[in-house]
Chain A
């Protein structure tokens, strides 16, 4: 089975531009998470979904960030407008909420965002 797929792998953009990161979770997983990793702040949970419904978005830094999950196989994280301090690696992860593998996070390879 394919793992979590994220795109783009690398994104370089200029301040003020809109950035959209995409994620395809593992088929059958009912939880989807967006994390951000920086040297200063480590791994931060931004938002997570259960059965496509946002459950906790308290980690979203500000209104410039938004996330959607229109169906079970696709999610987006959008930053508009982007700022240099948004530069980070953004990870998408999915997991099962039941069964012997429940709770284990399966991460994508990450999207490295650089905002100039």
Chain B
């Protein structure tokens, strides 16, 4: 069975601070996929990134970066110089194959001006 743990329920930062959202996963499969999704206050869920288990390269996209470490089963997400528009619930998810994704409980990020 797959499991995703996002230990941080809520995080509050002031604009321009850097913030890291933690994600720890469990799976016995050697091939799997990790995802991050954003759910802003409007409610829709938006895909941010996918990572394959065989590709441990970190990735940077603008102010967003992701750190994937198989040794610690973690896939952490960092927002640099946070902005108010980054306020949302962020979900980490794990998928084995292209079927069902298991989601973490989400981390609510509040960025204050």
* A105 close to B101 (CB less than 8 A): yes
Stretch from A13-21, A67-75, A77-85, A106-114 at the B interface: A106-114
Taking CB atoms and an 8 Å cut-off, the chain A residues in 75-116 that contact chain B are: 89, 91, 93, 95-98, 102-110
Question: Across the two chains, which residue of chain B brings its CB closest to A95?
Answer: B98
- The distance from the CB of A92 to the nearest CB of chain B, in whole angstroms, is 11
Question: From DSSP, what is the main secondary structure of chain A's interface residues?
Answer: strand
- Are B45 and A91 interface neighbours, CB within 8 A? yes
- The distance in angstroms between the C-alpha atoms of A93 and B45, with both chains bound, is 9
Choice from A42, A97, A105 contacting B47 with Cβ under 8 Å: A105
Q: Which residue of A lies closest to B105 (CB)?
A: A42
Shortest beta-carbon distance, B46 to chain A, in Å? 8
What are 16 A-B residue pairs whose CB atoms fall within 8 Å in the complex? A31-B98, A31-B99, A43-B106, A55-B99, A56-B99, A95-B98, A96-B98, A98-B98, A103-B35, A103-B50, A103-B95, A104-B50, A105-B47, A106-B47, A107-B46, A108-B44
